[in-house]
Amino acid sequence: MGEDFETVIGLECHVELSTRTKMFCGCRNEFGAPPNTNVCPVCLGLPGSLPVPNERAIEYIVRIGLALDCEILRYSLFHRKNYFYPDMPKNFQISQYDLPICVKGHLDVQVDGQTHRVGITRVHMEEDTGKTTHAGASGRIAQAEYALIDYNRAGVPLVEVVSEPDIRSPEVARAYFNELRSTLEALDVSDVRMEEGSLRCDANISVRPAGSPEYGTKVEIKNLNSVRSLERALKYEQERQVAALRTGEKLVQETRHFDEGTGTTHTLRSKEEAFDYRYFPEPDLPPLEPDTEWVEKIRGALPELPAARRARFERELGLAPRQTTLVGASKATADFLEEAIDLGAPAAAVANWMTQDLSGLLNKARIELPESKVTPQHIADLIRLVEESTISVTAAKQVLEEAFETGKPIEEIVETRGLRQVTDTSALEAWVVEAIAENPEPVEQFRAGKDGAINFLVGQVMKKSRGAANVRTVQELLRAKLSGS
Using rule CB under 8 A, residue 92 touches another protein:
yes
For another protein, the closer of residues 91 and 416 by Cβ is 91
Using rule CB under 8 A, residue 217 touches another protein:
no
Q: Return the residues of window 304-363 that contact another protein according to CB under 8 A.
A: none
For another protein, the closer of residues 285 and 311 by Cβ is 285
For another protein, the closer of residues 154 and 414 by Cβ is 154
Using rule CB under 8 A, residue 44 touches another protein:
yes
In the complex, least distance from residue 89 CB atom to another protein, rounded to whole angstroms: 7
Q: How far apart are CA 404 and CA 126, in angstroms?
A: 41
Of 171, 164, 185, nearest to 228 by C-alpha is 171
Among 37, 91, 138, 143, binds another protein (CB under 8 A): 91
In the complex, least distance from residue 202 CB atom to another protein, rounded to whole angstroms: 21
Using rule CB under 8 A, residue 43 touches another protein:
no
Q: How far apart are CA 192 and CA 185, in angstroms?
A: 7
Binding residues for another protein, rule CB under 8 A, total 29
For another protein, the closer of residues 75 and 280 by Cβ is 280
Which residue type is seen at 70? Answer: C
> CB-based burial of residue 196 (10 Å sphere; 0-12 exposed, 13-18 middle, 19+ buried)?
exposed
In the complex, least distance from residue 270 CB atom to another protein, rounded to whole angstroms: 16
Q: Return the residues of window 108-167 that contact another protein according to CB under 8 A.
A: 147, 149
Among 35, 45, 321, 346, binds another protein (CB under 8 A): 45
Among 17, 27, 51, 163, binds another protein (CB under 8 A): 51
Q: How far apart are CA 236 and CA 148, in angstroms?
A: 34
Radius of gyration of the chain, Cα coordinates, nearest whole angstrom:
30
CB neighbour list of residue 113: distance below 8 Å, 6 or more residues apart: 321
Using rule CB under 8 A, residue 90 touches another protein:
yes
Which range, of 79-87, 207-215, 217-225, 396-404, touches another protein by CB under 8 A?
79-87
In the complex, least distance from residue 61 CB atom to another protein, rounded to whole angstroms: 17
Q: How far apart are CA 410 and CA 343, in angstroms?
A: 14
Using rule CB under 8 A, residue 253 touches another protein:
no
CB neighbour list of residue 159: distance below 8 Å, 6 or more residues apart: 14, 15, 17, 60, 61, 64, 123, 124, 125, 126, 189, 190
Which range, of 80-88, 104-112, 300-308, 377-385, touches another protein by CB under 8 A?
80-88
Which range, of 2-10, 82-90, 179-187, 208-216, touches another protein by CB under 8 A?
82-90
Q: Return the residues of window 262-301 that contact another protein according to CB under 8 A.
A: 276, 278-280, 283-286
Handedness of CA 223, 226, 229, 230 (dihedral sign): positive
Question: Which residues of the shown chain bind another protein in the complex (CB under 8 A)?
Answer: 41, 44-53, 80, 82, 84, 86, 89-92, 147, 149, 276, 278-280, 283-286
